Amino acid sequence: MKKNIAIIGGGPAGLMAAETIMNAGDFTVDVFDAMPTMGRKFLMAGKGGLNITHTDSFTTFLTRYGDSQAHITPFITDFSPTALRAWVHQLGIDTFVGSSGRIFPQEMKAAPLLRQWLHRMRESGIRFHPRHHWHSESLATAELIFTTPQGTYTHHADAVVLALGGGSWAKLGATGAWVTPFLQHKISVHELMPSNCGFNSPWSAYFQDHFAGQAVKNCSLSLYPRDHDLSKFHSGEFMLTRTGVEGSLIYALSPALRQQLSIHGVATIYLDLLPHYALAHVQNRVSGTRGKLSLANFLRKRLGLEGVKAALLRECVPLNTFSKADDLAHAIKSLPIQLLSTRPLDEAISSAGGVCFSGLTENLMITHFPGVFCAGEMLNWDAPTGGYLLTACFATGRAAGLGVVSWLT
Ligand SMILES: Cc1cc2nc3c(=O)[nH]c(=O)nc-3n(C[C@H](O)[C@H](O)[C@H](O)COP(=O)(O)OP(=O)(O)OC[C@H]3O[C@@H](n4cnc5c(N)ncnc54)[C@H](O)[C@@H]3O)c2cc1C
């Protein structure tokens, strides 16, 4: 009789594990998900353009995983961005390289890819069980226990892949509710924290009312002021919200900002409002008398600085800065913006933290729960947006699937 594998969590990691196991033959595979359909977060990821992976050189790609690089490297070495792109093509979905090397499906959305993929999996015999909420408290029991609309369902499996996701956007299914039972079962889990997230800034009521929702374009950001040895400005754009800042330029800095917040209780980013002008040029343009010009007109005429950028300058530096040309030039080229806290985990694109690799075998099996494997965002790694999140979810899903196959054969 064929051995049965249960996959709990029908996101990209769980689905990739399911298909990998099914392709190995000799297994029956059941995928359970608490939600009414599979891949809810994956579909949401496609709303703004599904950034599936990236054209970075392989070495650069791996560095995107920061502190978790060493843990993630073996999985991405086995299932590289190039292999992932080829896998997307095998589903009949074309891809293209967008700005800054990001790779997207031709139609940008996740739905066509997911539809094709689920169809292929159903054809191969994989069974899907939506609306099956697994009781993570039952981790140590021989039977898997689910709540379904029809009542409690118990399922026996020879091995299990848990791909329960992180803790953001709980309404899409990944609630992080598994963390407490895991800790009770002595599985090492690093606290789930918001990553690729917005941050709260102490905006004045006037600033909130007039500038929330506006994009700050053609700027660059650094974790350190311009004259600091570690200063490195990243170009792009970000959004001002009622509560602070968000957007890809901010997301990329979120691990470092989280660390600053945990050490100092406050974090600061430095914004170059006019990255195309050298400091000396700005100094030159703001020196000399203003004559009858208002400050706003002076900055607009001398430097083209106006609108939201001029408002940020007024919001973030004390008034007396404007009367000293050198201080003003430095503020324009390295404007400190204070961040008080992260936005809540539920609003984040992804979560950092999760099941620690120290408690897993190299095949992603929980060391003291033989036959139980973990994959995807529920593992303790972190990466910026840019396709690195999905690449690691697919690669660890595949690795957990291969782990099951080698454990049972
Ligand atoms: C708005 C947004 C945009 C994004 N855009 C991108 C992008 O462009 N590129 C990129 O790389 N990444 C992106 N991401 C991140 C990416 O979507 C996630 O990293 C990825 O979906 C995680 O995959 P996963 O399979 O680990 O978990 P999930 O996709 O979260 O799937 C976990 C599944 O487990 C199920 N589950 C959880 N607990 C239980 C339980 N007890 N019983 C049964 N089922 C359970 C959930 O219902 C869920 O379906 C985006 C995320 C968001 C929110």
SS3 170: helix
pTM of structure: 0.94
| List of residues 6+ apart from 255 with CB closer than 8 A | 66, 67, 195, 352, 382
Using a 6 Å cutoff on CB, does residue 84 contact ligand 1?
Answer: no
Q: What is Dmax (Cα atoms) for the chain?
A: 90
Using a 6 Å cutoff on CB, does residue 350 contact ligand 1?
Answer: yes
- Rounded to the nearest angstrom, the distance between the alpha carbon of 321 and the centre of ligand 1 is 46
With CA atoms as reference, report the closest residue to 398 among 64, 20, 12.
Answer: 20
Using a 6 Å cutoff on CB, does residue 9 contact ligand 1?
Answer: yes
User: Which atom of ligand 1 is least distant from the CA of 387?
Assistant: 11
- Rounded to the nearest angstrom, the distance between the alpha carbon of 7 and the centre of ligand 1 is 14
**Edge-to-edge order in the sheet of strand 102-105:** 53-54, 102-105, 95-97
Location of structure tokens 């940008």:
108
Task: Judge whether 3 and 28 are in contact, CB under 8 Å.
Answer: yes
Using a 6 Å cutoff on CB, does residue 332 contact ligand 1?
Answer: no
Q: Whose CA is nearest to atom 27 of ligand 1?
A: 165
Using a 6 Å cutoff on CB, does residue 20 contact ligand 1?
Answer: no
Q: How far is CA 53 from CA 64, 72, 102, 104, 115, in A?
A: 12, 15, 6, 7, 19
Using a 6 Å cutoff on CB, does residue 35 contact ligand 1?
Answer: yes
- Rounded to the nearest angstrom, the distance between the alpha carbon of 304 and the centre of ligand 1 is 43
Six-digit token pair at 289? 């008398």
- Which residues are bridge partners to 374 per DSSP? 162
Q: What is the pLDDT along the chain (409 residues), one digit of tens a residue?
A: 899 999 999 999 999 999 999 999 999 999 999 999 999 999 999 998 999 999 999 999 999 999 999 999 999 999 999 999 999 999 999 999 997 899 999 999 999 999 999 999 999 999 999 999 999 888 887 799 999 999 999 999 999 999 999 999 999 999 999 999 999 999 999 999 999 999 999 999 999 999 999 999 999 999 999 888 888 898 999 999 999 999 989 998 999 999 999 999 999 999 999 999 999 999 999 998 888 889 899 999 999 999 999 999 999 999 999 989 999 999 999 999 999 999 999 999 999 999 999 999 999 999 999 999 999 999 999 999 999 999 999 999 999 999 999 999 9
Domains with residue ranges and CATH for the chain: 3-195+350-408 (3.50.50.60), 199-342 (no CATH)
Q: Which H or E element spans position 268? A: strand 267-272
Q: Whose CA is nearest to atom 31 of ligand 1?
A: 11
